[in-house]
Amino acid sequence: MKQSQFYFKTRKEVSKEEIAISASLLIRTNFIEKLTSGIYNFLPLGLRTIKKIEGIVREEIEAVEGQEILMALLNPKRNWEQTGRWSTFKALFKTQSRYGQWFALAPTHEEVITPMVKNFIFSYKDLPLYLFHISNKFRDEPRSKSGILRGKEFIMKDLYSFHTDEKDLEKYYEKVKKAYQRIFKRCGLKTFVVEASGGTFSRFSHEFQVITPAGEDKFYYCSSCKFCRNKEIAENIKKCPECGNTLKMFKGSEVGNIFKLKDKYSKAFDLKFRDKDGKNKNVMMGCYGIGISRLLGVIVEANYDKDGIIWPKEVAPFAYHLLSLSSGNTKIDKIIKKQADLFYKKMIHKGIEVLYDDRNDVSSGEKLVDADLLGLPYRVVISEKTMKNRKFELRERRNRKVKLLKLSDFDKIIKGR
Ligand code: ATP
Ligand code: MG
């Protein structure tokens, strides 16, 4: 992608309303744009990164046999009345058709998926079943001050599992827990698996928390036995209930949450199956969410320095940032451009994701500042200085290590990337 042709311009200032560092960095680099409080548009760089995150999530959920579907976001009122949540789900957005019917804008999908699978689940032979979808959710959040960390409209991955019994649900729940740890690790995050309220049906659910001052949750952590519990459900515990050690408290942002729903929704929708013994039984369910757009924000909260974002490799919108720096001398600049164009062509040919700063109306200083702000993992610079010795500069954003390499070594560097 050439920056001269790309929807890209960094901004110096961001509105003072943006208090989250992630929101301010993502707006300054044009990854996202605010429509109004809690509602954001994703621009080309932001969407590329979202797709990278979704790709990782899709791969790992498919690896635990999840099958992808896409459910409707406009939900009839009766589905939500059937579970009682039309009146109890406080953040439910409700909208009325001009013909009088009421609809909910889906904040989660139990009310859609449970009656849907009734068409497919009849006997124990139809179970287990694992279905997931990645799409927008709507919640009338009272506090949308943290940019994309808490949106009124946001992107979520939600997986639902259907089982014959609790034991099978338990087994799958543990499998998903491991898949989640792989997902967040690949996103460049260290997560803590925190015990949290399980609602009325389970003692605990599990949250995946990333430590950050921008987070809205607080959790206890035991450095000795790794016990973690959300403060909301465990007021004033001083000693670890597992090993007696002193607990620490951290602020975190929840990037995922897994729940054993058991028969809560199958009861509401009369979702039953005929078991081996010929008896009709309630299907056992689990649900597993990941905040895809919140993840984009949390990744930034956990990966930045004074100069800008530092993208973890697997989720970076591009792996390389190629910069041609002009010297002011037309003849030399022609040579620089020719070399940078050649590198760009080679990288595209190799299928390497590269953003090429080929803008000629921008100073070298500005290009370097923009590159740090944007924070792609590798920067390749061609300038008068490097060309003098027939070299190019390769710099890693995370550790700022710079190497001056021979132009002839470029092929080796990009080979196998
Ligand atoms: P929270 O505790 O942050 O309010 P939740 O427990 O209500 O979230 P779930 O229903 O478990 O959220 O949704 C699954 C995931 O979706 C959460 O773990 C979180 O990462 C993400 N998420 C939930 N609400 C929002 C929101 N308003 N904006 C962005 N992401 C969200
Ligand atoms: Mg939660």
Q: Tell me what the mean pLDDT of segment 299-316 comes to.
A: 97
> What is the end-to-end Cα distance of the chain in Å, rounded?
18
Q: Ligand 1 within 6 A of 108 CB?
A: yes
Q: Tell me what the mean pLDDT of segment 270-285 comes to.
A: 98
pLDDT tens, position by position, 262-271: 999 999 999 9
Q: Tell me what the mean pLDDT of segment 185-206 comes to.
A: 89
In this structure, of 98-112, 161-175, 214-228, the range with the lowest mean pLDDT score is 214-228
Q: For residue 200, report the distance from its CA to the centre of ligand 2, in Å.
A: 15
pLDDT tens, position by position, 121-178: 999 999 999 999 999 999 999 877 789 999 999 999 999 999 999 999 999 999 999 9
Confidence of residue 7 (pLDDT cuts 50, 70, 90): low
Q: Ligand 1 within 6 A of 153 CB?
A: no
Is the dihedral angle over the CA atoms 159, 165, 169, 172 positive or is it negative?
negative
Share of the chain above pLDDT 70, in %: 98
- Please count the CA atoms within 13 angstroms of the CA of 55 that sit on its side-chain side: 12
Q: Residue 201 has what pLDDT?
A: 65
- Of 162, 72, 63, 134, the C-alpha closest to 291 is 134
Q: Residue 3 has what pLDDT?
A: 92
Q: Ligand 1 within 6 A of 150 CB?
A: yes
Q: Tell me what the mean pLDDT of segment 94-102 comes to.
A: 98
Q: Ligand 1 within 6 A of 158 CB?
A: no
Q: Tell me what the mean pLDDT of segment 351-355 comes to.
A: 96
Q: For residue 382, report the distance from its CA to the centre of ligand 1, in Å.
A: 44
Sheet containing 354-357: which strands, arranged edge to edge?
354-357, 320-324, 378-382, 391-396, 402-406
**pLDDT greater than 80 at residue 4:** yes
Q: How far is CA 181 from CA 27, 184, 192, 278, 406, in A?
A: 29, 5, 9, 39, 40
Mutate to test the pocket of ligand 1, among 156, 208, 217, 219 (most ligand atoms within 8 A of CB): 156
Q: Ligand 1 within 6 A of 297 CB?
A: no
Confidence of residue 117 (pLDDT cuts 50, 70, 90): very high
- Per-chain mean pLDDT for the chain: 94
